Amino acid sequence: MNGHEDPQPDRTFPRSGDWFRRAIRGIPVPVTRTTRLALVASIVSAACLVGAGVLVVAAPHTASAEDRPVATAAASRVERKADLPRPSTPDQVVSGALDTPALADAVPFAYAGDSITARPDSWLHQLEGDDRLHAVGGYAHSGYRADQVLAEIGPVPQARVLVVEVGTNDVNQAVPLDRTIANVDAIVRKVGAERVLVVAGPPSDWTWSRWGADRRSGQIVLTDALHADADSHGWAFVDPFRALRAADGAYRPGTSPDGIHPTAEANRSVAAAMATAIERTAS
């Protein structure tokens, strides 16, 4: 989808002398001299009109005062999209326990996530140096929906806390919300952790997707549904993106490289909020 119409094809006209001679040759021979002169005069007049740009098909359009606001809005929409790199989903996967330093009384936790969890600079990887926490199992895959994470994750009964960070790709792919929540509940049952921490949807600078979804407003709706689901089951809930989210649901300037994921620097605040929430959920 683009915000502008396809440009009109370029039109070229022959040189006036060539065009005039071809037009003269095209007049049938058996006509009277008077008729011939009248036809020649008509052709000359038409040539003058073409040269003056009177013909609508050839004359360039100049935007009127009424056109300009529409043209400006369209240009700004295209420019806004051009500011953002096209979304891409590298095949980033994290699975199983992470071999990181941990204290004897470190909180054992499991994770279920998408790229927000699986990316190299994610909150999960930034917590690898926190010896108060120990990821003992789980599954996260960039670009995966909740049902796809459900299909891959296994039981982690030794985890005191399961962190569930899924749903953003469901929003992107216009998956019905009730199906996403059902898959979140299924992930919790399958992992079998003692306690559960549900994570809010992240901000989004994108208001469209190739599946026809409004990603930004969809994340807000998802977050509300996740919070309500957590409350209904007695699970904990955390929104670690508060410091990154603008009032309209977009990322604050400078906190996302692509309008979908936090920067490595922004993930430090996400990781700090996650660490606090995991410890609180475990206690």
Question: Residue 182: is it exposed, middle or buried by C-beta count within 10 angstroms (0-12/13-18/19+)?
Answer: middle
pLDDT tens-digit series, residues 201-242: 999 999 999 999 999 999 999 999 999 999 999 999 999 999
How high is the pLDDT of residue 44?
40
**C-alpha distances out from residue 41 to 16, 30, 34, 111, 198, Å:** 14, 18, 11, 85, 83
Full-model pTM? 0.70
Q: What is the 3-state secondary structure (H, E, C) of 91-145?
A: CCEEECCCCCCCCCCCEEEEEEECHHHHCCCCHHHHCCCCCCEEEEEEEEECCCC
Domain limits of the chain? 16-83, 93-282
Q: Quote the pLDDT of residue 87.
A: 55
Radius of gyration of the chain (CA): 31
Give the DSSP H/E element, type plus range, for residue 242. none
- The percent helix, strand, coil of the chain (3-state, each to 5) is 40, 10, 45
What is the fold, at CATH topology level, of the domain defined by 93-282? Rossmann fold (3.40.50)
Over residues 104-144, the pLDDT tens digits come to 999 999 999 999 999 999 999 999 999 999 999 999 999 99
pLDDT digits (tens, 9 = 90+) for 28-45: 444 445 444 444 444 444
Query: How buried is residue 59: exposed, middle or buried, by Cβ count under 10 Å (0-12/13-18/19+)?
Result: exposed
pLDDT for the residue 190: 98
Work out the number of other CB atoms within 10 angstroms of the CB of residue 136. Answer: 21
Closest CA to 243 of 221, 276, 194: 276
Q: What is the pLDDT of residue 91?
A: 80
What is the arithmetic mean of pLDDT over 39-60? Answer: 39
